[in-house]
Structure 1
Amino acid sequence: MKQLKTGQFFGQTNRYIQLGGLTITDTEYTHDTVDWHYHEKPYFTFILEGKVLEGNKNEIYQCTPGSLLFHNWDDAHYNIKPPGYTRGFHIEIEQNWLQQFDLSLDTLKGNIAVEIPYVKMLFYKLFTESKRNDDFTNTTIDTLLINSLQNIKCNNQKNYNSVPKWIKTIKEILHENKAGDLSLIQLSELLDIHPVHLSRYFPKYFGATLGEYNRKLKVEKSLSLLFHKNKSIAEIAYETNFSDQSHYIRCFKEQMGKTPLQYRKSLL
């Protein structure tokens, strides 16, 4: 089984940066199939464009734009890419980077699909910051990555503790909902839980109110659409179920610090 060295991925790497214990690559995937392999360093894969299937001994992930996977070192997996352009952003982590911030990856085993909207938005910021590459890039990337890791570890810890069964159900409903926002009453009826109980405990497990979480989900979904230059901001607002373009722009700027148009320019 092949081991890939730091900075090595199957495809055409168009950008390669090393920043104080982090190796950052922006790669176009060119192989239709990639046999079982593993990497010498723990790393994140963030799909920017296209589709790719990734399988390991426990899971199969259908990755689309916005998918985020964490791979711990020495964990084998394979890939299948359908026809079309596919692009991934990677951050590989050296042990010395973890040590300087007193961090450990011991609780993050194997391959993990990260579904936390806030963390995915941090990775879009990591990507755009890596393209900026000025005097403040190193510190900014360190801060964003530490924040991401802490959120992932905290989320995983919640999964080990006693969590109500409705937490997993409501997460699936919210992430797969195609019809737009579901009200507190509608969710309560679907889950057969009193709306007061749902309202009280939702922030404990999701880190936000129901309305705030829904807005984060919609902004996160819109990020991958901004790569499509042929889509207008109004069309993206409609596809992600915002009430109108101005509402989308306002929510986007609150969460990302830029307007969608400004962010599109930084992505492209």
Structure 2
Amino acid sequence: MHFRKTGQFYGVTSKTLRLQEMTLTDTEYTEPKVDWHYHENAYFTFILEGKVLEGNKKETYHCGAGDLLFHHWQEPHFNIKPAGFTRGFHLELRPGWFRQFDLPENLLEGSHKLIHPHHRLLFYRLFAAFRQYADQPAVLDSLLVDLFADLGRTPVVKGSDFPRWVLHLEQLLFDEPESRHWRLNELAAATAVHPVHLSRAFPSYFGHRLSDVLQAMKLHQAMRLLSDDRHNLAAIAAECGFADQSHFIRAFRKSQGMTPLAYRRLLR
């Protein structure tokens, strides 16, 4: 089985940032298939463009733009890339990073596809910081601490002790998150739960209010479309359920700290 050291990924890396306990890379995937391998450090893979299939001992993930994966150190996995351009943003963390911020290294173990839209939107912010503020590592550290704090509030894998309606709701929201724009009464009817109870209980299981998650889902869908220049802002706003282009731009700026066009230029 192949072993990859810090900063080593299969493909062509256009930018690498090496910090004391963190390494970040922007890499184009060029290998159609990468056999079983593992990495020296725990790391996140965030797909910026294209598609890739990634498998481990338990599951296989079909990933596209905006999808986020985590692998603990020495967790074996393989990759298959279909035809076309695929680009990934990788963020590796050495054990010292967790100790520096008094965070448990085992908060995430094994391999996971992180499906919460807030986590994925935060990785878009991390990528922007990587491109813009390479000389200010405190910005990257702060965003990562926020991510792990949120992961602590939001279980990655919901256990059997969760109510059945919560598991059903998670499937409705996250399995095909861009298939429709849900409303509270629709989710309540689909899960057979009173809408008031669903709204009040939602933060206990998902770490955020339902309205915030629905807004994050719309923004995440918009971020995925933003990498494709064939979609203009008005079309993205309409497809993602925003009232108009101005509403979309305001929500985007609040989430990412810049306009959609500025982020599109940064992606290029």
Verify the 8 A CA contact 1:180 1:241 in the aligned structure 2: no
Q: What SS class does the counterpart of residue 27 from structure 1 fall into?
A: strand
1:50 matched residue in structure 2: 50
* Separation of aligned partners in 1, 2:263 and 2:13: 23
After superposition, give the CA deviation of every residue in 1:216-252 in whole Å (9 maximum; x if it has no partner): 1110111121111232101111221223212212222
Instruction: Tell me the amino acid that sits aligned with residue 168 of structure 1.
Output: L
Deviation string, structure 1 residues 32-74 (Cα, Å, up to 9, x no partner): 0010000011101000000000001100000100110110011
CA displacement 1:128-161 (0-9 Å, x = unmatched):
11111354x2000001111112222332278358
Q: Which residue of 1 aligns with 2:30?
A: 30
Aligned pairs (5 A) from 1:167-206 = 167-175=166-174, 176-178=176-178, 180-206=180-206
1:162 aligns with 2:161: yes
Does 1:219 find its partner at 2:192?
A: no
Amino acid at match of 1:166: W
Q: 1:25 is aligned with what amino acid?
A: T
Shift of the alpha carbon at 1:177?
4.9
- Output the CA distance in 2 between the equivalents of 1:177 and 1:98: 31
Secondary structure class of the residue paired with 1:156: coil
**In structure 2, C-alpha distance between the alignment counterparts of 1:94 and 1:117, rounded to whole Å:** 25
Aligned mates of 1:80, 1:134 — CA distance in 2:
31
The letter for the 1-side match of 2:171 is: E
Native 8 Å contact 2:133 2:139 kept in 1 = no
Q: For this pair of structures, how many residues does the alignment match?
A: 267
The residue aligned with 2:62 is 62
The percentage of counterpart residues that share the same residue type is 44
Structure 2 unpaired stretches of 5+:
none
Unaligned runs of 5+ in 1: none
The answer to which of 53-62 and 147-156 deviates more is 147-156
* Deviation by residue 1:82-112 (Cα, 9 ceiling, x = unmatched): 0000000001111222221112222321101
Corresponding position: 1:9 with 2:9: yes
**TM-score scaled by structure 2?**
0.93
In the alignment, the residues of structure 2 paired with residue 39 and residue 96 of structure 1 have an alpha-carbon distance, to the nearest angstrom, of: 16
Question: Does the 8 Å CA contact 1:108/1:153 hold for their aligned counterparts?
Answer: no
> Aligned equivalents of 2:132 and 2:238: distance in 1?
30
Equivalent residue, structure 1, for 2:39: 39
TM-score in terms of structure 1 length? 0.93
Counterpart in the other structure of 2:120: 120
| Structure 1: distance between partners of 2:63 and 2:179 | 22
Q: Comparing 231-240 with 22-31, which one deviates more in the overlay?
A: 231-240
Q: What is the alpha-carbon distance in structure 2 between the residues aligned to residue 157 and residue 171 of structure 1?
A: 11
2:229 aligned residue: 229
Q: Distance in 2 between matches of 1:37 and 1:75?
A: 8
Identify if the C-alpha distance between structure 1 residues 12 and 179 changes in structure 2 by more than 3 Å, giving closer, same or farther.
closer
Deviates more, 1:99-108 or 1:32-41: 99-108
How much has 1:209 moved relative to structure 2? 2.9
**Structure 1: distance between partners of 2:110 and 2:193:** 34
